[in-house]
Amino acid sequence: MAHTRRNYDTQPYWEGCDQRELRIARCADCHTWIHFPRGVCPNCWSDDVRHEAVAGDGQVVTFSRPRVPDGAPPMVTALVALDAADGVRVLGRLEGAEPDAIRVGMPVSLDWHEEDGQLVPQFVPSGGAPA
Amino acid sequence: MTRPDRAAIIGIGYSDISRNSGTGPGTLIARAARAAILDSGVAKEDIDGVVGVYGSDSPTVWPGYVVDSLGLPNVTWWDTAQPPSIVGLSSAAQAVLAGNCEYAVFYHGKYRWGSTSIASKGDPLRESPAHEMDPTFSNPLVSHAGSLNWAARVMRHHMDRHGSTREDFGKIAINNRTHALTNPRALFRTPIKMGDYLAAPMIDEPMSLLDMDAPVDGAMAVVVTSLERALDGPHTPVVIEAFGSGLPIGSEGNLWPEADGLAARRAVASLFGRTDYSPTDMDLAYPYDGFTILTMLWLEALFTEEGGGPELLRDAWSEDEQVLKLFGRMPMCTSGGNLSEGRATQGFGSVLEAVQQLRGTAGDRQIGGSLNTAVITNGMAATNRSTILSVS
Ligand SMILES: [Zn+2]
């Protein structure tokens, strides 16, 4: 099975996930958000990159509905632009929405989901978590 | 020494392409390289360069393995490249132009590893090579879905932004399949019409089975040398006019569905900027078709503006022939592309096809009239390389 793989650059992100906190890398010098996490700021080339917890509200940029193996629950994958971190997009499952009602641009909020023993971010429609 | 100023393709070869070859990837690559060397008429003692695609995307075998497999005694230059295939072709051509070798064999192989299709997941002889660090955090999603694809989200993005429809993408799939009917390399040779396309099962909605290349076993190869040496060979040399690429900031397809179109526009500009041609001068067009959305974006980059692809396709569509003729004359993907030959090729089938068409040896599928130029675009935002081939 394909588990998450951690390395020194991504470990702070995954440690956040373990605590149900979405931590996004950010340059301490010029405040540019950096996702996926990297150790050098692409804007000012600073090495001083730290992780900050951010709110997980955002909007759907695009989405798809992959086929899943027989017996597995259906899923929607959505790319979400975060309101709280300019330029940052997070890819995750979108749960609790009628597939035909999903639209590009719809507001969603962060939720958590466990896959292969790892907590990973997922999203739900804003204003209504799944039952 | 004087360095050559032009490189040419003088030999082409390929293995059988199948869903289940019953052989390992190294054997397929050896067979393709052997066929290309035999086609070129170059003695194996004269092959002094070996270049292969050996990247992070389902690796196969490295150049030394091929040297051993074919007993090539005099290799003094080798190189590896990330996919897609034309990246490796450019490494081989540039090695010739730099004087690092005289006759380079370039190979590209692909294998239906357990990680590439739900159907091959349980086969212990198809267990995937260990992959690098999941830098894009997609493993948990793949783990659940098995066949997750960024291209589906790029397709949705295009449909939402530009109003493209499944029928638009269907024209690409049908065109390629119609051309594949006379291509013995092609794995998929059953005719399809729009009704078949629209009824195809979804793999990652809105992307269906007929919008993507199927994972297969197979390999392809060419021999490259200088144009001067090429003139001594048994075939009309096919000259490599130029290469081009575009690598924008934000090329990760999982996060930036805008990136593929942007990269394509930059790649086309860089490619044609290195020649005296413009895209409409081409006789044959091979926009990359690993996914129909990528074909749409390459066509827009080559021939129209962003979002203009659907109209271009509607104007080019021949209902009678079930093919696309761009501007009423330019055939597209005349071998059926990746969609018909499978993912063994990662676009390299289009190179073999263009060589055959330009030589005039494409058999039943030979396009009539005088053919002098072909453009082959190859890949997506994070990894692409495109080329123009010609004969004089
Ligand atoms: Zn900075």
| Domain of residue A116, CATH code | 2.40.50
Mean pLDDT lowest for which of A28-37, A95-104, B46-55, B136-145? B136-145
When pLDDT is cut at 50, 70 and 90, the band that residue A26 belongs to is very high
Q: Do A60 and A14 fall into the same domain? A: no
Q: Do A28 and A74 fall into the same domain? A: no
Q: Do A62 and A48 fall into the same domain? A: no
Q: Do A70 and A43 fall into the same domain? A: no
| Angle at CA of residue A128, ends A123 and A129, nearest 5° | 55
| CB distance B149 to B204 below 8 Å | yes
Terminal-to-terminal C-alpha distance of chain B: 27
- Which of B142, B207, B255 is the closest to A2 by Cβ? B142
Residue B146 tokens read as 């098995």
Distance from the Cα of B265 to chain A's closest Cα (Å) equals 21
Q: Do A129 and A115 fall into the same domain? A: yes
- B205 with A89: Cβ contact below 8 A: no
Interface test with A, best of B128, B136, B141, B249 (most A CBs within 10 A): B141
- Which of A5, A72, A91 is the closest to B255 by Cβ? A91
Q: d(Cα B217, Cα B21) in Å, to the nearest integer?
A: 6
| Angle at CA of residue B258, ends B296 and B246, nearest 5° | 80
Q: d(Cα A37, Cα B169) in Å, to the nearest integer?
A: 35
Distance from the Cα of A70 to chain B's closest Cα (Å) equals 10
Q: d(Cα B350, Cα B256) in Å, to the nearest integer?
A: 27
Boundary (domain end) residue, out of A53, A72, A92: A53
Q: What is the pLDDT of residue A1?
A: 38
Q: Do A65 and A30 fall into the same domain? A: no
- Which of B144, B153, B256 is the closest to A64 by Cβ? B153
Q: Do A68 and A129 fall into the same domain? A: yes
Is A78 exposed, middle or buried, given 0-12, 13-18 or 19+ CB atoms closer than 10 A? buried
> Could you tell me which residues of chain A have a Cβ less than 8 Å from any Cβ in chain B?
1-7, 10, 13, 35-36, 42, 61-69, 72, 75, 77, 79, 89, 91-93, 104, 115-116, 118, 120
Average per-residue pLDDT for chain A:
91
CA of A40 to the centre of ligand 1 (A): 8
Q: What is the pLDDT of residue A2?
A: 45
Q: What is the pLDDT of residue B132?
A: 56
Q: Is the pLDDT of residue A130 over 60?
A: no
CA of A87 to the centre of ligand 1 (A): 14
Q: Do A1 and A36 fall into the same domain? A: yes
In percent, the amount of chain A with pLDDT more than 70 equals 95
Nearest CA in chain A to B256: A89
- Which of A4, A7, A13 is the closest to B139 by Cβ? A4
Q: What is the pLDDT of residue A3?
A: 64
β-bridge pairing B323-326 and B330-331: antiparallel
Interface test with A, best of B150, B169, B247, B255 (most A CBs within 10 A): B255
Among residues B234, B232, B175, which one has the least CA distance to residue B359?
A: B234
β-bridge pairing A58-66 and B202-205: antiparallel
Tell me how crowded residue B369 is: count the other CB atoms within 10 A of its CB: 7
Residues from chain A that touch B139, judged by Cβ atoms under 8 A, are 2-5
Tell me how crowded residue A124 is: count the other CB atoms within 10 A of its CB: 18
Among residues A9, A16, A7, A11, which one has the least CA distance to residue A120?
A: A16
Q: Do A66 and A116 fall into the same domain? A: yes
Domain ranges of chain B: 7-114+216-230
Q: Do A90 and A49 fall into the same domain? A: no
The number of distinct structural domains making up chain A is 2
Helix (H) or strand (E) holding B375: strand B373-376
Helix B85-97 to helix B348-359 angle (10° resolution) is 60
- B133 with A7: Cβ contact below 8 A: yes
Q: Which residue has the higher pLDDT, A9 or B49?
A: B49
- Which of A36, A63, A66 is the closest to B156 by Cβ? A63
Distance from the Cα of A5 to chain B's closest Cα (Å) equals 6
Neighbouring residues of B217: CB distance < 8 A, sequence distance ≥ 6:
B17, B18, B19, B20, B21, B23, B25, B28, B110, B111, B112, B344
- Its domain, for residue A109, covers 55-131
DSSP symbol at B3: P
Q: Do A116 and A82 fall into the same domain? A: yes
The pLDDT of A39-46, averaged and rounded, is 93
Q: What is the pLDDT of residue B145?
A: 63
- Backbone φ and ψ of A32, nearest 5°: -70, 130
Q: Side chain identity at B375, as an amino acid letter? A: V
Q: What is the pLDDT of residue B299?
A: 98
Please tell me if residue B139 touches chain A, with a CB cutoff of 8 Å. yes
Please tell me if residue B321 touches chain A, with a CB cutoff of 8 Å. no
List the beta bridge partners of residue A118. A115
Q: Is the pLDDT of residue A123 over 90?
A: yes
Q: Is the pLDDT of residue A82 over 90?
A: yes
Helix (H) and strand (E) counts in chain A: 1, 8
| Angle at CA of residue A30, ends A24 and A36, nearest 5° | 30
Interface size, chain A vs chain B, as Cβ–Cβ contacts under 8 Å: 112
Residues of chain B short of pLDDT 50, as ranges, are none
| CB distance B51 to B106 below 8 Å | yes
Q: d(Cα B97, Cα B91) in Å, to the nearest integer?
A: 10
Helix (H) and strand (E) counts in chain B: 13, 14
Q: What is the pLDDT of residue A129?
A: 47
Q: What is the pTM of this model?
A: 0.93
Q: Do A60 and A26 fall into the same domain? A: no
CA of A38 to the centre of ligand 1 (A): 12
CATH 1.10.10.10 applies to domain B7-114+216-230: no
- B249 with A42: Cβ contact below 8 A: yes
The pLDDT of A38-44, averaged and rounded, is 91
Q: What is the pLDDT of residue B46?
A: 98
- Chain-centre distance for alpha carbon B198: 25
Residues from chain B that touch A5, judged by Cβ atoms under 8 A, are 133-134, 139
